[in-house]
């Protein structure tokens, strides 16, 4: 029996990293559905600009996802201004493109703090609110890099494996509670996060495509949210092949070169912004966690 599509109008949604990229696209799509949206971002001025452009009563709030106190204050403020939360979207994240052996300690820590710790804290704080009410939806932005290992972004890929695994485990813990989790796994997405990355044979999607799938997963609850959807079937097929054959196909499609043969000059602006956010006292919501990632 098909699940009934839920009406999102009036739902209160909090989105991390909502000032740009997938976060902004998701906020836009949800405002169009009649949701009341709070976007949190370390870049407060850009968040305010984004919120003003979205309209619909959208609010912008400061947020550093690496600080539990900051995250709690963000959700508290969202509820004070908009009402009880129905949805929390853990979207914030960063990605460093570098050979693993050469990656700096600062880069390792920033990705772990934002991509893993930030998601864990967001989930815990959301559950703290949702479970007593017997309802609520958590959306975690992972990646198809969380389903395979990709040279050039080993640490990032590891953080996204963590998001997938944690999401699966917590989903099982919450069964029967009324609190639901969606794990979003996009392919390459055209945002600033991977500027300078060659496309090769992998067809990218747009931030709006990811946002539309998030909206659909909120309307008709599902855990695995592949973007594009066809890639879910592809990954299942590949999982049944011997490792040597899977890796051979990857080399044939140049997947192994996707994140190693990049234009680092084109990435300079993004990398400097990520590093600058750290210097200001927190590597919080630097960019959508799934912008233009690997398949």
DSSP, residue by residue, 186-253: E-SB-SGGGTTB--TTPPPB-HHHHHHHHHHHHHTT-SEEEESTHHHHHHHHHHTS-HHHHHHHHHHT
| Mean pLDDT, each 10-residue run in order, the chain (295 residues) | 87 97 97 98 96 97 98 98 98 92 96 98 98 98 91 94 98 98 90 53 83 98 94 78 70 62 55 52 39 35
Res 265: pLDDT: 59
Residues with catalytic function = 156, 160
Structure tokens at 196: 């300078």
Q: What is the C-alpha to C-alpha distance for residues 97 and 155, in angstroms, rounded to an integer? A: 9
Res 251: pLDDT: 65
Structure tokens at 43: 């870049």
Res 237: pLDDT: 74
Q: Enumerate domains of the chain plus CATH numbers.
A: 12-280 (3.40.50.720)
Res 282: pLDDT: 38
Q: What is the C-alpha to C-alpha distance for residues 106 and 66, in angstroms, rounded to an integer? A: 14
């Amino acid at each position: 029996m098909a699940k009934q599509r839920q009406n999102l109008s009036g739902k209160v949604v909090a989105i991390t990293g909502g000032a740009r990229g997938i976060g902004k696209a998701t906020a836009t799509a949800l405002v169009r559905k009649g949701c009341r949206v709070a976007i949190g971002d370390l870049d407060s001025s850009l968040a305010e600009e984004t919120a003003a452009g979205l309209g619909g009563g959208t609010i912008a709030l400061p947020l550093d996802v690496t600080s539990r106190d900051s995250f709690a204050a963000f959700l508290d403020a969202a509820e004070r201004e908009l009402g009880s939360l129905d949805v929390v979207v853990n979207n914030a994240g960063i990605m460093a493109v570098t050979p693993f052996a050469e990656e700096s300690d600062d880069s390792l820590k920033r990705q772990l703090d934002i991509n893993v710790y930030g998601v864990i804290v967001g989930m815990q704080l959301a559950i703290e609110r949702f479970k007593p009410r017997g309802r609520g939806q958590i959306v975690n932005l992972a990646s198809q890099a969380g389903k395979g290992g990709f040279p050039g972004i080993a640490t990032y890929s590891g953080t996204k494996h963590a998001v997938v695994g944690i999401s699966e485990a917590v989903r099982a813990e919450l069964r029967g509670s009324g609190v639901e989790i969606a794990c979003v796994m996009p392919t390459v997405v055209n945002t600033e996060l991977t500027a300078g990355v060659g496309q090769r044979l992998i067809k990218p999607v747009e931030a709006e495509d990811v946002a539309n799938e998030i909206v659909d997963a909120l309307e008709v609850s599902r855990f695995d949210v592949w973007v594009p959807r066809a890639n879910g079937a592809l990954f299942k097929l590949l999982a049944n092949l011997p490792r040597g054959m899977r890796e051979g196909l990857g080399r044939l499609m140049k997947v192994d070169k996707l994140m190693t043969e990049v234009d680092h000059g084109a990435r300079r602006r993004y990398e400097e912004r990520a590093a600058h956010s750290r210097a200001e006292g927190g590597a919080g919501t630097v960019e959508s966690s799934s912008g233009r990632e690997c398949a």
